[in-house]
Structures are given as structure tokens and as C-alpha cells.
Chain A
């Protein structure tokens, strides 16, 4: 009887422990967000691009409507903004493979690998690092057909109840820069400058503030100007 109780307790412990690292909790939080708008500050350090720190407003409406409004030119990563959430909230689109535990900035996380079910999916592979304590994603490594591998680190503050980050850091691959001939004919350009550019890593840091969640945004707002 004692052995049966011990086995039962161990099984319960395992089940409870497994519950804390399931992706569903994070998805449930994401699903509570029907729309949001937020102020963002974008700091980009991308090879071959020199851009000052810019401010903008971002607007999102489930499932995949996303718009950036700014007086400045704002550079954002092509993958990992609204498309990742759209992928995550539909579990039919992938198979979960739980992996190892890993410490990320002093926080215990579990790796969950997501394998897309659709052979034509833009996302080839997604690795999600989920907090062991709360249903929040702290890192995503996204491999896509067109953009290569994008690593996204998340930090959370006042809007963590909605699973909305206060800071996102994207690490991206920037392809070899090809200089158009017409521009290369510059009095200060050199052959060395034109030939040494190979694929390099870049980063984009986005700071989010003043989130306004579920206040309602019209569909027409997202239409192209």
C-alpha cells in the first residue's frame, strides 16, 4: 500500500511539474490579448545600416494585424513580431517536443521545440524557452525559410499578465550587402569597401511602454494608406 501511495505521489508530482512548463499557459495569456497599442523605442545595430534611435507607435489586432506608425523611418525585423504569436496560438500547426532545462539570465527555463505540421510553412523550426515558474516565453529561436535564424529575447514588466514584453531583443542574420553600380561610383568609395561585406549578425532592441490592451482597434485602421 505504501509503495502504491509513493508511486501515486511521484506520478502526481511529475504531472504538476509538467504542468508548469507546458506551452498552453503562455498561449492562454497571449489569447487574452485581442488588440493592443504601445509606444516603442527602437535601437538597431545592423551591419551596413546606420540609423538613429527611433520612436513609434505599434498597433496589433488578433490574429495577425500589425501596424507601425511613426514620423521617423523605423526598421523592424521581418520575422518574430506578430507572425510568431499567430503561429504559437494555433497548436494544430506544430508538434511540441519538450527538451532540456536551461538557465537564461538567472531564470530557469525549459526548451520546447516546435515542429511545423505543414511542409510549406514559412517557419521551419521554432525553439521556445519557457519559464519554469510562470507561463512566459523568455527566448525564441526561429528558423524561417526567407530570413534564416532569428533569436528573440524577451523581458517583461507591467503587462506580463497579458504575456506582452517590455523589451524584445532580436538577433538577426544580415545578408551580404550588394552595392548598386550607380552608387558605387562615389569619389570616396574604394574597392576594399565594396568587396569585404559578407553575411553578418545584427541586433534590434525594441522597448515597449504605455500598453493599452483590449481597448478596441478598428480593422480599417490596418488597411494600407
Chain B
């Protein structure tokens, strides 16, 4: 019954126009970045290498598909959550707003099952968005710009990673990006369990992401201990995959923190939905 209900939820998602807004916006954004890089990518590289250019020259295919994929991920990891929330923030509250939740609750499935089926559907949608972002940023960029070494600007300086050392790093960064987006999707689902309309959970989730991101980027000591517990801090973990030596421990910790958020927020959504007065 849980799987059948998940299928129903997926059908509902695919029948809504807003589900395609995210994918469409993602496609347009990535194609725009690729176009901009093809037109004026050397300026971007100059920004990265300018500190060293008085004494050094950088030769070879610097503006390649790997760099473009990295740039796209860096630009979009902040914005893609907002596109996902448009769909996942509506999953429970949308049913309440339209009144279809009453019919759904009469089905031979528990309330926990209803939340889980919606969460599975949200997970699949998030996965599709991540894979689409990965396909466009990595494969399309490679097709247009070719392959090559990746030049990354880290806090320690400039790191150049050989092209044959990159595919697995992109794979892991995509997994971490998925974990980050999954956390956001589950957060909006949890807010959705509290709300009676669609707009509330979407706006609140966006506000939380913006608030946490600002706290995370503020260079004041008072927030130093708090930053570790903010999921937005760990949403940037995909970037440290491109460090050398590979920071295994930091990545595992961040992955566990994000997974912890997913589980915690899902339990909150289940708890809240089970106690919700649907007849009211």
C-alpha cells in the first residue's frame, strides 16, 4: 500500500505545472552559465588566477568541462533548494488546503504511511533534480568544453586536480548535494505538516535557508559553536570533496549531520501529522 500510495504521489507531482518549473529553471540556468562561460570564461579564470599572474603563466586547457561543472554546482547549490521546496513544501499542506486530505485519510493506509509515501515521492523528485543537474553540468559541459584538469580556489590557495582524479570526486559531491537537497525537501515536508496552505511552508523553508546561510557566513565568534549544527553549513560540504588530501572525516561528519536532519525532520512530520485534527 505504501508503494502504491508513493506512485500516486508521484503522479500528483508530475501532474502539477510547478513540478516542471524547477527542472525548467535549472535547465535554463545551466545553459545560461555554459553560454556565459563560452563567451567570456577567460575573464572568470583571470579572477581566479589574478593573484599569481604577475609571476606565473597558466597554460593548457583551463576552461574545460570539469571547471564548468564545478562552477555550475557552486552557483546552483544555493538556488536549487528553493526550486525543490516549490514542490515538496506543498505535499501535505496542499492536500489540507484543497480538502483532499479527508479522502486520503479514508484509504487503508496509516497516517505514518501517508507521510512516508509523500516523503518517498519527495525523495525521488529530489533525486531526479540532482541527477538532472549532474547530467547537464557534467556531461553537457564536457561535450561542449572537453575534459581537463580542474583548478579550484580553496582557502589554502589554488589546487589543481588531474582530470583522471575527478570523476569519483564529482560522484561523491553529487551524493552530498543530494543529501543537502534531501534535507531541504524533508524540512519543507515537516513545515507542510504544520501548515494549512501551500505558501506558508515554502516561504518558511526559504526563510530558514536564507537565515541559516547568513549566520553561517557571518565572521563573528558568537556564532562559531552554532554553525556546526546548521544544516546549511553542511550543504557546502560537496565543495571540500575537491580538496587534497581528501577530507574523509569531515565529509562523513557532514553526511551524518545531514542524514540526522533528514531522520529528525521526518519523525517530526510523522509526529505532527499523526496528531493533526483533519476534520477541523
Contacts and interface: CB of A to CB of B under 8 A. Distances in A.
B52 interface: yes
Interface in B50-99: 51-62
Interface stretch (B171-179, B233-241, B260-268): B233-241
A166 B155 CA distance: 36
B237 A78 contact: no
B55 A173 contact: yes
Interface stretch (A24-32, A69-77, A131-139, A156-164): A69-77
B47 A52 contact: no
A127 to B, nearest CB: 18
Interface stretch (A11-19, A90-98, A107-115, A181-189): A181-189
Given A177-B51, A187-B234, A78 B57 contact: yes
A150 B247 CA distance: 35
Contacts of A71: 60-61, 148, 163
* Interface of chain A, main secondary structure: loop
Contacts, number: 120
B58 A183 contact: no
A50 interface: yes
Given A177-B51, A178-B51, A73 B156 contact: no
B162 A72 contact: yes
Interface in A33-59: 46-52, 54, 56
A70 B60 contact: yes
B160 A52 contact: yes
B108 interface: no
Nearest to B254: A187
A73 B148 contact: yes
Contacts of A74: 58-60
Contacts of A220: none
A185 B156 contact: no
A180 B155 contact: no
B52 A174 contact: yes
Interface of B: 47, 51-62, 148-149, 151, 153-160, 162-163, 216-217, 219, 227, 233-234, 236-237, 239-240, 244, 247, 250, 254
